[in-house]
Chain A
Amino acid sequence: MKTYPDISKLIKAKEAHRRALAALPFERKIELVFKLQQRRRFVKSAQLVRKRRIKA
């Protein structure tokens, strides 16, 4: 039978990271949201370039 790695430690670490993020000051969390939006814009612009290249 095939065995798979136990990722429960990774899941727990993810959970801890989420809790640490939740515990940050409000101002810091809003900063992170703005960064998220910048990243989203960047990803979207990259998709646009890719689509244009495909069309060309």
Chain B
Amino acid sequence: MKETLKVLNGILKAGVVQRYAIGGAVAAIYYLEPIDTVDLDIFVQLKVSGSELSILAPIYEHLSARGYKASGQFVEIEGMPVQFLPVFNPLTEEAVAKAQTIKYARVTTFIMRPEHLVAIMLDTGRPKDYLRIAMFLEQGAVKLRSLMPVLRRHGLVEKWVENEYRFRR
């Protein structure tokens, strides 16, 4: 994964994206026990905005020029399938903007904060998301005093209250 992150930092350095942050299961692993996953979800803040997924084209062009091939929704980068997701609402935009800087094998990278991961999982609302929210709570990996303001800002408090019974034992 170290080499994959170096390539991602190259995209950032080249100005293809303004910011990026690791989200999804790999970000969850940073805070929780290891869980099985097939890909690395990278949320990107682009210079351009638009409703079409073609806004991701500059990333694919940059990677293709360096020999990395797209396969379905993934781009295989140094042995790791990477899925790029443009920030698609104010919540994911904030999650990328407020991502924390970490080091992975001495490579600098950016990872979403637990309160944003939990809010995104609540918003997405698949059974596996609820399961992971339960893991965050059970393992004390998210603080409610950090989570609640995020839920309030993004209109998710009601959904939290409605589904809280799923996360708590």
Q: Is the CB of A29 within 8 A of B33?
A: yes
Residues of A within 8 A of B (CB): 18-19, 21-22, 24, 26-27, 29-30, 32-33, 36-37, 40
17 pairs from A and B in contact (CB 8 Å cutoff): A19-B33, A21-B34, A22-B31, A22-B32, A22-B141, A26-B29, A26-B102, A26-B104, A27-B104, A29-B29, A29-B30, A30-B1, A30-B34, A33-B26, A33-B34, A36-B36, A37-B36
Beyond A22-B139, A29-B29, is A36–B104 a contact (Cβ under 8 Å)? no
* B131 CB to nearest A CB, Å: 14
Query: Which residue of the partner chain B has the closest CB to A31?
Result: B34
Residues of A within 8 A of B53 (CB): none
A interface: dominant SS:
helix
Residues of A within 8 A of B31 (CB): 22
Query: How far apart sit A40 and B36, CA to CA, in the bound complex (Å)?
Result: 9
Given contacts A24-B34, A36-B34, 4 further A-B contacts (CB under 8 A): A30-B1, A30-B104, A33-B34, A33-B36
Residues of B within 8 A of A37 (CB): 36, 38
* A17 CB to nearest B CB, Å: 9
Query: Which residue of the partner chain A has the closest CB to B109?
Result: A26
* B99 CB to nearest A CB, Å: 14
Query: How far apart sit A29 and B35, CA to CA, in the bound complex (Å)?
Result: 9
Q: Does B73 contact A (CB under 8 A)?
A: no
Query: Which residue of the partner chain A has the closest CB to B139?
Result: A22
Query: How far apart sit A26 and B34, CA to CA, in the bound complex (Å)?
Result: 9
Q: Is the CB of A26 within 8 A of B33?
A: no
A29, A30, A40: most-surrounded residue (chain B CB, <10 A): A30
Query: How far apart sit A29 and B33, CA to CA, in the bound complex (Å)?
Result: 7
Q: Is the CB of B105 within 8 A of A27?
A: yes
Residues of A within 8 A of B36 (CB): 33, 36-37, 40
